[in-house]
Amino acid sequence: MSTTPHRQALVIGASRGLGLALTDELARRGWHVIATTRQDGSELKKRADIWKERLEIVSLEMTSTEQLATLRQALHGTRLDLLFVNAAIDRGDLPIDQVPTDMFTEVMTTNALSPLRALEALRPLVAPGGTVAVMSSEQGSVSRNTEEGYELYKASKAALNQLMRSYATRHGDDGHTKLLIDPGHNRTRLGGPDAPLAPEESIPAVVDVLEAQAGAPGLQFLDRHGETVPW
């Protein structure tokens, strides 16, 4: 795939919800976006009809190490200004002692393990001074876990944050900006219909943060306003 002189992003998990809104907003601001989808991605294809050469769609099952390797090879020679991983599932509000082992494994694999595998596989594509970011959640903040509910989801996001901290420690001298982003509680399939925010409201603020933090050193856990979320 050819390179481009414009700012270029790879958004993993862009078929709907926050990932779709992120792809849309980046393209609107003139970025060239490579967006991945697991399945049909009909909404994403509609965006491609709008944005034309600004949006390129590729297929990826993020939990597959083989597909990650194939994508890296397909993008060989591409230089990314932004690598953004957006992936999360929720399997209901069960107390942790009632969570089946296979459910625990599925959620932890999708929400914590696979995003870091994706970063490790694709980070060589990120240009010096580029940004590596993952969609996290305030739900992953241990110090703010003061209300009951969604124990497995919270644990998976806390695990994601901890693994990202390890990643940042291991790659502390690579010159990449590293971000964990809390977009707020949005009306998505995951967030539910009663959430206070719409992705079209929160994601432009998220992109403001991504653009403002470009080139910043170290790892930060920030909300959509650019404020630090406590670990």
- Taking only the tens place, the pLDDT of each residue in 163-207 is 999 999 999 999 999 999 999 887 777 777 777 788 899 999 999
* CATH class as words, domain 8-223: alpha beta
Residue 34's DSSP bridge partners are 10, 56
Q: How far does CA 89 lie from the centroid of its chain?
A: 12
Apex 166 CA angle, 219 and 20, nearest 5:
60
Mapping DSSP onto H, E and C, the string for the chain reads CCCCCCCEEEEECCCCHHHHHHHHHHHHCCCEEEEEECCCCHHHHHHHHHHHHHEEEEECCCCCHHHHHHHHHHCCCCCEEEEEECCCCCCCCCCHHHCCHHHHHHHHHHHHHHHHHHHHHHHHHEEEEEEEEEECCHHHCCCCCCCCCCHHHHHHHHHHHHHHHHHHHHCCCCCCEEEEEECCCECCCCCCCCCCECHHHHHHHHHHHHHHHCCCCCEEEEECCCCECCC
The answer to whether residues 114 and 41 touch, using CB atoms and an 8 Å cutoff, is: no
The answer to whether residues 175 and 123 touch, using CB atoms and an 8 Å cutoff, is: no
For the chain, what is the mean pLDDT?
93
pLDDT of 5: 52
How far, in Å, CA of 96 to CA of 150, rounded? 9
Poorest-pLDDT segment among 51-55, 94-98, 184-188, 222-226: 184-188
pLDDT digits (tens, 9 = 90+) for 24-60: 999 999 999 999 998 767 889 998 899 999 999 999 9
Res. 92: pLDDT tops 50: yes
Which pTM does this prediction carry?
Answer: 0.94
